[in-house]
């Protein structure tokens, strides 16, 4: 199934539907960068940081995060603005990105809003390779480290370009 604009295959909730002035990039594979104009558009506006959330955490979202990282964007992942078909897939893919997307910053939505408003906020930031050694038995405990190890950022330290 492909979801493209101007077809019956999509329905967008009115509250988040794009306005006429919004730029819409159709994607045809998992990654938002694969054979789309997204990278060209982001370069044209001088973007350095990407705030990412979305559906299919262990598919579309993860491939888009990795492709953005490969293109030297600073990734800001909002983990509670992501979802997939099962909790384990969601948690595992967030931790895989935390392990291997060096420098990724992982937020809760509330903390991202605080960041964008220039207020104090908390964020988990990757500082080394593979900080999460998770197994099926310890996955929930390891996943909770994203919140318990979040660092507090003082106001007026919004990442440049957000």
Phi, psi of 15, rounded to the nearest 5 degrees = -65, -25
**Quick one: average pLDDT of 102-109?**
96
At 2 the pLDDT is 54
Contacts with 141 (C-beta within 8 Å, 6 or more apart), sequence order:
none
Structure tokens at 31: 């990654």
Tell me the per-residue pLDDT of 21-59, one tens digit each, with 9 for 90 and over: 998 888 888 999 999 999 999 999 999 999 999 999 999
Q: Whats the size of the chain, residue-wise? A: 162
- Work out whether the CA dihedral 36, 40, 42, 47 comes out positive or negative: positive
Question: Residue 130 has what pLDDT?
Answer: 93
H helices of 83-126, where?
87-100, 109-116
Residue 58 is classified by DSSP as I
pLDDT in tens, 132-151: 999 999 999 999 999 999 99
CA distances, 121 to each of 73, 111, 152 (Å): 21, 5, 6
């Amino acid at each position: 199934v492909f979801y493209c604009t101007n077809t019956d295959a999509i329905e967008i909730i009115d509250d988040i539907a794009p306005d006429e002035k919004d730029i819409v990039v159709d994607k045809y594979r998992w990654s938002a960068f694969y054979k789309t104009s997204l990278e060209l558009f982001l370069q044209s506006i001088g973007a350095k940081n990407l705030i990412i959330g979305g559906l299919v955490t262990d598919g579309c979202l993860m491939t888009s995060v990795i492709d953005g990282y490969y293109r030297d964007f600073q990734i800001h992942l909002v983990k509670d603005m992501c979802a997939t078909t099962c909790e384990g897939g969601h948690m595992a893919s967030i931790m895989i990105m935390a392990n291997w997307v060096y420098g990724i910053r992982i937020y809760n939505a509330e903390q991202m809003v605080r960041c964008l408003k220039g207020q104090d906020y908390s964020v988990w930031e990757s500082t080394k390779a593979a900080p999460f050694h998770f197994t099926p038995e310890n996955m929930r405990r390891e996943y909770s480290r994203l919140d318990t190890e979040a660092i507090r950022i003082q106001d007026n330290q919004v990442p440049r370009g957000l």
